[in-house]
Amino acid sequence: MNVRVFWVCFSLILLNGCVSDLPPITELPDGPREKQLFVVIDDAGLVLEETRQFLDIPVPMTIAVLPHQRNTTEVCREIALDPLKEIIIHQPMEAADSSQNPGTGAILGSTTPEQAVALLDWNLNSVPGAVGMNNHMGSKVTEDPVLMRTVLRYCRARGLFFLDSKTAYNSIVPRVAQAEQIHVEQRDSFLDIEHDREYIRRMWSSAIGTAREKGYAVIIGHAWSEETAAAIRDSYETLQAQGYTFHKLSELYK
């Protein structure tokens, strides 16, 4: 048996057997959260300089790195040098619009659970230091209970957390997670769906409002957006003075 086949078989044993014996991930404690900002920067790994503009901002953030891209390894190396930042896998998944290409290592609607495990292993090896995962695209796959059960069980077996980027209105992720007793979070805001400076600043202000009202906000921006980097860079000191705190996403799962 070659090495690749061995690891695929081992992964399937984990998912179909041992995983059911693992204790559920502990839910968040009941203690209050106040003005906490969890910023996630998607699409890292394509252009190194894009990620650096966020590494230069001295607040905790989570960087979601695409697997198997030309700068994936170097981006992970630089993030690992910054104690304020952490790495998660930006897992490609098929969108409802099949004309969109999710990229290398993607889980498609036609992917079997066995194939999904092999892809996740391959992608995890491509993103060294990853502590969690969120979906890249995925409006089709995150509505598939079989595939998402496979993904969530995989994350639990590997000690990874999962963030639902909530690209699908009818995402099945929360219901699957509840059935599996796995703690997941969903994003509250996308900052840069429109590539417009004023739009991004309005969305940033709205996300701050969510954190004020809810106690925390999970906020997604993108590495390619200079406007998103500028909005955070121009406001973080003022926000900190107003009592807001920045956190790595993993802290939300402790």
**Domain CATH for 145:** 3.20.20.370
Residue 31: per-residue pLDDT = 54
Residue 114 DSSP class: H
Q: b/e map of 121-141 (b: 16 or more CB within 10 Å)?
A: bbbbebbeebbbbbbbbbbbb
Inside any domain, residue 88: yes
Q: Using 50, 70 and 90 to split pLDDT, how confident is the model at 30?
A: very low
- Intra-chain end-to-end CA distance of the chain, in Å: 39
Give the integer Cα–Cα distance in Å for 130 and 124: 7
Which tens digits make up the pLDDT trace of 200-237? 999 999 999 999 999 999 999 999 999 999 999 999 99
Residue 32: per-residue pLDDT = 73
Q: Higher pLDDT residue, 176 or 14? A: 176
Query: What is the CB neighbour count within 10 angstroms for residue 145?
Result: 13
Q: Using 50, 70 and 90 to split pLDDT, how confident is the model at 143?
A: very high
Residue 18: per-residue pLDDT = 37
Do residues 44 and 66 touch, judged by C-beta distance below 8 A? yes
Inside any domain, residue 77: yes
All residues at 6 or more sequence positions from 244 whose CB lies less than 8 Å from its CB, including other chains: 35, 36, 37, 208, 211
Q: Name the token pair of 165.
A: 């980027």
Inside any domain, residue 29: no
Give the integer Cα–Cα distance in Å for 164 and 134: 6
Average pLDDT, the chain: 91
43: phi then psi, degrees, rounded to nearest 5: 70, 25
Residue 14: per-residue pLDDT = 39
Give the integer Cα–Cα distance in Å for 96 and 94: 7
Percent of the chain predicted with pLDDT > 70: 88
Q: Higher pLDDT residue, 49 or 10? A: 49
Residue 35 DSSP class: S
Do residues 107 and 151 touch, judged by C-beta distance below 8 A? yes
Which tens digits make up the pLDDT trace of 241-250? 999 999 999 9
Q: Could you tell me the pTM of the whole model?
A: 0.87
Residue 25: per-residue pLDDT = 33
Inside any domain, residue 21: no
Residue 7: per-residue pLDDT = 38
Which tens digits make up the pLDDT trace of 36-86? 999 999 999 999 999 999 999 999 999 999 999 999 999 999 999 999 999
Helix, strand, or coil here: 27? coil
Inside any domain, residue 226: yes
Q: Higher pLDDT residue, 196 or 4? A: 196
Work out the angle between the directed axes of helices 3-16 and 145-158 (0-180°, nearest 10): 100
Q: Higher pLDDT residue, 4 or 164? A: 164
Give the integer Cα–Cα distance in Å for 136 and 187: 13
Residue 23 reports pLDDT greater than 60? no
Region 123-143 average pLDDT: 98
Inside any domain, residue 125: yes
Q: Measuring CA to CA, which residue among 30, 17, 83, 77 is closest to residue 51? A: 77
Inside any domain, residue 19: no
Looking at the 3D structure of the chain, how many domains does it have? 1
Give the integer Cα–Cα distance in Å for 193 and 165: 13
Residue where the block lists tokens 């966020």: 54
- Which residues does residue 135 pair with via DSSP β-bridges, in sequence order? 91
Q: Name the token pair of 208.
A: 């701050």
53 Rama sector, left if φ>0, alpha if ψ -120 to 50, beta otherwise = alpha
Inside any domain, residue 7: no
* Residue range(s) defining the domain that contains residue 243: 38-253
